[in-house]
Amino acid sequence: MSTFHVIDGSVSQDVIDSAPSDVLDLVRETYLQHSRGATVNPNSHFLRFPHDPGARIIALPAHLGGDTPVSGLKWIASYPQNVGRNLPRASAVLLLNDAETGYPFACLEASGISAARTAASAALAVETLADGDGPKTVLFVGAGVIGRTVSDFLAARGTNVRECLVHDHVNAYAEAFAAHTAGTHGWQTRTVAEIDVALATADLVVLATTAPAPWLTDRQTLLPGQLILNLSLRDIHPAVMIKCHNVLDDIDHCLTAQTSPHLTEMEHGTRDFIDGTLADVIRGDVTLAHDRPTVFSPFGLGVLDLAVGYHIYRTALRTGRATEIPGFFPGLKRW
C-alpha cells in the first residue's frame, strides 16, 4: 500500500444514512462469516484508570477473511462524564490494515460506525427473534446515541411501531429522543417516568444505558414472547437472565467483563441458560419458543466494525470523499 486516506465522521455518517439496510445486511453476513470461522476476533483489551474507574478505552483488533480480506483495529473511548460536559460519551477511530503487507491504509472516525453496527445487530435481532410479525410497542431505556440509532435502523427496515415509550433518568434526554422518533419516524411516542409499568407492556425493550450494575431484577414483570435487547451489557440481573431464553452474538466474548451473561455464569456455575448465537438462529440450527422473554446480548465484535468500516472506506474512495495524506509513509523501499 502506497497511499493513506482519512475519512471523517460526516462522510461515514452519510454512507450509513444513505443505505442503512446495506449496513444491516453486511452485519448479518459478517455474523455468518464469523460463525464459519472465517474471521479472527481476539479478546478486546480494556485500558482503565484507577483515578477514574468509570472511564475506559477499548482496543478491538479483528480480521475478515474471504475474497477481500482486511485487518484492523477499533480504538474506542467511553467517558460517561462527557455527558455532563455536553459531549458525546464515546469517541473512536478505526484503522484498516492491508491483509497482505500489514500496512495501514486508512483511518476513519468511528463513533458513528460503532453506533451503526450496534444498531444494525439490534435490528437484525428483532427481525430474527421477535414474536409474530414484529414488535408493536417498543420501550427504550436510555435516550442516548445508541438508542436513537437503533430507532433509525428499526424505522429503516419498516418496523411497524405503534407506540414508542422512552425512559431516561434525565427527562430532557427522553424528551429530545421522543421528539426525534415522532418527528423523524412518525411514531406515536411518549416519555415514561415509571419504568416498571412500561416494562410490563412492551413487546420490545431496548436497554442502552451506562448503568454500572444490574437494575432489572425479578421484582419487575416481563412477558412471554417479549424481546429484550441487552445492548448496555449489564443491566439485567442474573435472576432474570436465568429465567429467559438467551441468545448471544459470540458466547466466549459475551462471557467476559462482567456482562449480564457473565454474571449469570459466575452465579449459577453453568452456561446451560444460553440457547445459542444469533447466527445459530439465522441458520435455523436453534429454534426458540416464545414461552418466556428472550434476551439478546451482543458484546460488540470488532469484525462488525471492520466490515462496516471497510464498506465505508471503499464507498468513500469510489465517490472521491476519502482524503489522501501524501507522503504518510516516508519510504517504501528497504534500500
pLDDT of residue 221: 87
Q: How confident is the model at residue 88 (pLDDT cuts 50, 70, 90)?
A: confident
- What is the rounded average pLDDT of the residues 239-256? 96
Residue indicated by cell numbers 451482543: 298
pLDDT by residue (tens digit) across 148-177?
A: 999 999 999 999 899 999 999 999 999 999
H helices present in the chain, as ranges: 9-18, 20-35, 111-129, 145-156, 171-180, 195-199, 238-241, 251-254, 260-268, 278-283, 302-318
pLDDT of residue 29: 97
For residue 91, the surrounding DSSP H or E stretch is strand 90-98
Quote the cell numbers at residue 280.
Answer: 445459530
Q: How confident is the model at residue 54 (pLDDT cuts 50, 70, 90)?
A: confident
Mean pLDDT across the chain: 94
Q: How confident is the model at residue 334 (pLDDT cuts 50, 70, 90)?
A: confident
pLDDT by residue (tens digit) across 211-226?
A: 888 999 988 889 999 9
pLDDT by residue (tens digit) across 114-146?
A: 999 999 999 999 999 998 888 999 999 999 999
pLDDT of residue 89: 85
Eight-state DSSP code of residue 272: T
pLDDT of residue 86: 85
